[in-house]
Amino acid sequence: MEVDPENRLLWRMSRRRLEAETIRDAMLVVSGTMQASAGGPAIPFDVPGNVNLAEPEFLNEEAKLDPATRLRRSVYLPVLRKSQLPELDILNLFNFPDANQITGPRQATTIPTQSLYLMNAPFVQEQAAALAESLLAMKTTDQSRVRALARRVYGRELRPGEGEQWLAFVRTFTPAEAWKRLCHTLLISNEFLYRG
């Protein structure tokens, strides 16, 4: 690190942000909400209000996914040619390839809209709430909860002093709100969103 902090000599893998589908799937897995079923209908024609019955019939632009479909792996979600359904806006914001184009390597953009989405999107908040609920359901101490949280979200043990910081944060809010905010913070952190 001291000799080559920018990794110009390629002695380690450079950090890269996860792809759109991987970010979404990782949040679903960590929160415990991912539906494990494979396949299924691609386009949600069976959800009331999704099909415009004018001539010719077509899928409404503001179509909704059924609850089981919206929690499936990204590879099983419908891909529309124009853009993704509003419930899947995470894919549009994080460089999901255009279905009308032949796409080689993806562009990795970093724009303010991505950060705003991660901070405010109902999808991310729902996953943080589900993760917090699962932690609070554990019949154990808060110290054990933060250790479990680090393993679940980051795949590692707590670093020295990290658990104390997290617990100090948790004690500043009501229990349910505090754990949800802590989980939300970890889900949108660089350590969760980047690999390397």
Tell me the pLDDT tens digit for each residue of 71-105: 999 988 877 666 667 778 898 889 888 777 787 88
Structure tokens at 35: 């539906």
Query: CA 196 to CA 14: how far, in whole Å?
Result: 6
- Write down the domain spans for the chain: 16-119, 121-195
Query: CA 42 to CA 55: how far, in whole Å?
Result: 22
- Whether pLDDT at 176 is above 90: no
* pLDDT number for residue 60: 65
Structure tokens at 11: 């002695």
User: pTM (2 decimals)?
Assistant: 0.85
Query: CA 142 to CA 167: how far, in whole Å?
Result: 7
SS3 state at 16: strand
